[in-house]
Amino acid sequence: MTSKTIIASLAVLLGVAGQSFAADMVFTSWGGTTQDVQKAAWADKFTAKEGIKVLQDGPTDYGKIKAMVEANGVNWDVVDVEGDYAIQAGSQGLLEKLDFSVIDKSSLDPRFVTDYSVGSFYYSFVIGCNKDATTACPKSWADLFDTKKFPGKRTFYKWSAPGVIEAALLADGVAADKLYPLDLDRAFKKLDTIKADIIWWSGGAQSQQLLASAEAPFGSFWNGRLTALSATGVNVETSWAQNITAADALVVPKGTKNKEAAMKFIAFATSAQGQADMAAGTGYAPVNVKSPALMDPAIAKTLPDQQTASQINADMAYWAKNRDAIGERWYAWQSK
Amino acid sequence: MAMVSLAKPDNEKRNARRRPVLSRDFVSILPALLLVLVFFVAPVLALLSRSVTEPVFGLQNYIALLGSSTYLKIFFNTFFVSVLVTVISLVIGFPVAWTLAIMPQRWAMVVFAIVLLSMWTNLLARTYAWMVLLQRTGVINKTLMGMGVIDQPLTMVNNLIGVTIGMTYIMLPFIVIPLYGVIRKIDPAILQAAALCGATRFQSLRLVLLPLAAPGMIAGALMVFVMSLGYFVTPSLLGGTANMMLAELIAQFVQSLVNWGMGGAAALVLLVVTLSLYALQLRLFGLAGGERT
């Protein structure tokens, strides 16, 4: 009786644990409309071509990646992460080296390639404005930080990541080529001046909701979310002045059992066609330089890679090195 | 075994009957116990142990946590919000429980169903609903401005007001249910007796009803307080960054900053406080909580 029960309960436990081995490979990203496109543009077509089933999981969680690698129980095979995290995690030994005999990096934008990661897509932080909710739209970061000229709530990305600190420094008059190393004291001082008027968005869907409802009639957004919002009929104005680019990256956690499939998947996702489909679906820019030629010119025109005139690249290497220190200071400042 | 053989025959029979029953009881909780051990106790202990081993062995994480005004403010926020939510839940929940107890049974069932229904609705959906109601361009502000009551929208989300409203609403059933159990067992004749003895309505409330309902109130209040201490979703969606609570801090350490030493330290502080309060509850009321009178 007793031993039977123990065996039965163990079997239940193993049954639960065993389910994760049924899939061929697992792709993890941030959810929402972006992952929907990643599934349609990459996973479904990859399965059709290679016969490897791709399960979707999410959202990306750096704590989980670390836990899986340490416990040697990795069941995320390819993960979409932030570019600065990819560099940091690579140096901490949490990632597999990518196999560039499978992944063709010759046509990938070198800004987004490291030993451990390649770009997933790249995006810009731009200034978005709901034209129906305000008489005048801020055109520059300085405008967005000017509560006299543009009174009201404004929304910014909540988490410690490239984007907001750079915007604060640019608004305070720091020259684009003098941004790094970031003058944190100066940035937080500038941010203090608008802190009471900031509503933080923690995810893309929330940023769209804030802008569409005019809870915050303007703010800093991922460009793709504005494209999507304007397609739903919201009267959105996008200002690309000093748009700040950052990229997501595809990585493979160390110790995955599906390394070969993972490399093939990344090769497919970063191919000219994979990147073109992804860009067309999300409004983010492709990391493959051959992709724009494959795209509808009308769509290609709206992407961040057409806005290089006043574009500023967030320094991912700087962020990777200082990510923890900036993070601690950022959250301490936010909670004050 | 020796005891059994010394015992009288009929006693032996009784023991023989009882023993398998006892071990079967134990066996039947074994799957649950295993599940809790493997999926809860072990990972929690692993995280907690990191608080004294990462980055090096020692108490550095606790010193950093308790020595920083930022983190102390988060502890304060957590307790402040929890106390506030508990008090407001009691003030709103008592009349509800009382009304439920004296209502005709059929109507009480309907009201009870409404209370439970809100509890069974998805937590995220309920929290987002509050967001839609409370935001600057939300239903409440639009109505009030349309009626001319206010000319500037009230700020009711991303601050203390939002957290308090959202959490009080979610916690109410946890106060109403134990209170209802206690109040229903109070003999209405006692209140009649109080009235006959010349007590005013306020006097019978203060001197008769409240003392009799106290066990239910304290049990419910403790439960709400303890649950509030570790609450995550509602504060993170309806609160601002300035009202950050402990559970959010732990999530931030574990997920974003990947600093598990600090995360473990913060989790241990929360766990110790929660378990102490639970121990207090057990001591005061036993396992049954408010159900006992």
- Position A225 in a domain: yes
Domain at A209, CATH number: 3.40.190.10
A32 with A62, same domain: the answer is yes
The terminus-to-terminus CA distance of chain A in angstroms comes to: 59
Residue A214 touches partner B, C-beta closer than 8 Å: yes
A241 with A292, same domain: the answer is no
Total domain count, chain A: 2
Residue A160 touches partner B, C-beta closer than 8 Å: yes
Q: Which pairing describes strands A78-82 and A154-157: parallel, antiparallel, or unpaired? A: unpaired
- Position A28 in a domain: yes
Q: What share of chain B is helix, strand, coil (3-state, %, to 5)?
A: 80, 0, 20
Residue B94's closest CA among B195, B1, B205, B245? B205
Which value does ipTM take for this structure?
A: 0.73
pLDDT band for B219, please (50, 70, 90 cuts): confident
The helix/strand/coil state of B150 is: coil
- In the numeric block, which tokens belong to residue B82? 């929890």
A111 with A165, same domain: the answer is no
Residue A310 touches partner B, C-beta closer than 8 Å: no
pLDDT attached to residue B152? 85
A290 touches A125 (CB < 8 A): no
pLDDT band for A5, please (50, 70, 90 cuts): low
- Position A273 in a domain: yes
Q: Which of A12, A213, A327 sits opposite B135 (nearest CB)?
A: A213
- Position A96 in a domain: yes
- Position A83 in a domain: yes
pLDDT attached to residue B19? 52
- What are the DSSP calls for B99-156, one per residue? HHHHS-HHHHHHHHHHHHHHHHS-HHHHHHHHHHHHSTTSHHHHHHHHTTS-SS----
Q: Is the dihedral of CA B122, B124, B126, B129 positive or negative?
A: negative
Task: Quote the percentage of chain A above a pLDDT of 90.
Answer: 78
pLDDT attached to residue A20? 43
pLDDT attached to residue B290? 44
Quote the mean pLDDT of chain B.
85
pLDDT in tens, B64-93: 888 888 889 999 999 999 999 999 999 999
| Strand residues in A83-182 grouped as ranges (E) | 118-130, 154-157
Rounded to an integer, the average pLDDT of B205-213 is: 89
Residue A200 touches partner B, C-beta closer than 8 Å: yes
A85 touches A94 (CB < 8 A): no
Rounded to an integer, the average pLDDT of A166-193 is: 96
Residues from chain A contacting residue B254 (CB–CB below 8 Å): 63
Measure the CA–CA gap between B236 and B255, rounded to whole angstroms. 14
The terminus-to-terminus CA distance of chain B in angstroms comes to: 40
Question: Which residue matches tokens 């016969």?
Answer: A51
- Position A313 in a domain: no
- Position A9 in a domain: no
Q: Is the dihedral of CA B200, B202, B203, B208 positive or negative?
A: positive
Residues from chain A contacting residue B246 (CB–CB below 8 Å): none
pLDDT at B278 over 90: no
Query: In this structure, what are the phi and psi dihedrals at residue A241, rounded to the nearest 5 degrees?
Result: -60, 125
Residue B242's closest CA among A207, A324, A199? A199
Residue pairs spanning A and B at CB distance below 8 A: 69
A90 with A48, same domain: the answer is yes
**Which structural domain, as residue segments, surrounds residue A149?**
124-245
Query: Which of B29, B241, B248 has the most A C-beta neighbours within 10 Å, making it the best mutation to test the interface with A?
Result: B241
A257 with A117, same domain: the answer is yes
Measure the CA–CA gap between B35 and A10, rounded to whole angstroms. 9
Rounded to an integer, the average pLDDT of B222-234 is: 91
A272 with A294, same domain: the answer is yes
- In the numeric block, which tokens belong to residue A269? 């996702």
Residues from chain A contacting residue B38 (CB–CB below 8 Å): 13
CB within 8 Å of chain B, chain A residues 71-100: none
In one-letter notation, the amino acid at residue A319 is W
Task: Please report how many Cα atoms fall inside a 13 Å half-sphere around the Cα of residue A89, on the Cβ side.
Answer: 32
Query: Which of B157, B258, B260, B262 has the most A C-beta neighbours within 10 Å, making it the best mutation to test the interface with A?
Result: B258
Measure the CA–CA gap between A155 and A127, rounded to whole angstroms. 10
pLDDT attached to residue B4? 41
A236 with A129, same domain: the answer is yes
Query: In this structure, what are the phi and psi dihedrals at residue B19, rounded to the nearest 5 degrees?
Result: -60, -50
Chain A's closest residue to B243, CA to CA, is A335
A35 with A69, same domain: the answer is yes
A215 with A155, same domain: the answer is yes
- Measured in whole angstroms, the distance separating CA B195 from the mean position of its chain's CA atoms is 35
Question: Which residue matches tokens 């950022």?
Answer: A330
Q: Which of B24, B35, B242 sits opposite A335 (nearest CB)?
A: B242
